[in-house]
Amino acid sequence: MPHHSPGNWIKTEARHAEVQARRCYVQRGRPLQAESDERLDALWVAGMRAWATAIHPRPLALDDAEAELSLRGRKPPEGQAAPELAAIIEGLGRSLEAMPGGKVRSMVAEAMAGARGAAH
């Protein structure tokens, strides 16, 4: 896949946002550091539910849970939030469709269509 492809652009932007969120989380003193793995998973799922009901803005609690999971070397329990993840992808897709035209919109929409196909 060429460097300028929509998929690579999305991955690069997502990685940058992840690094920024983790940096902010650490600067705030890792407030979830003392939570058990089970509680951290539950907080992540709750954050996904909140995000699925209100696409913008993404909840800070979700960013915090993802940052702590990452710092522990753990992946989010995506299987526990599959319906929420599908709703988020659809909601983001609708948001993109509502934006004025342009190259970025078309690149993101194309990548989102690919993500929708991969999620099903």
Instruction: Tell me, yes or no, whether 1 lies in a domain.
Output: no
Calculate the alpha carbon distances from 55 to 12, 34, 71, 75 in Å. Answer: 21, 28, 25, 22
The structural domain count of the chain equals 1
- Confidence tier at 1 by pLDDT (50, 70, 90): very low
70: in domain: yes
- Report d(CA 81, CA 98) in Å as an integer: 26
Q: pLDDT of 81-95, one tens digit each?
A: 999 999 988 888 787
Domain that holds residue 21: 6-119
Q: Which residues of 24-58 are buried (b: 16+ CB within 10 A; e: fewer)?
A: ebeeeeeebeeeeeeebbebbbbbbbebbeeeeeb
Q: What is the pTM of this model?
A: 0.74
Tokens of 70: 């990452």
Residue 36 belongs to some domain of the structure? yes
Residue 16 lies in a domain: yes
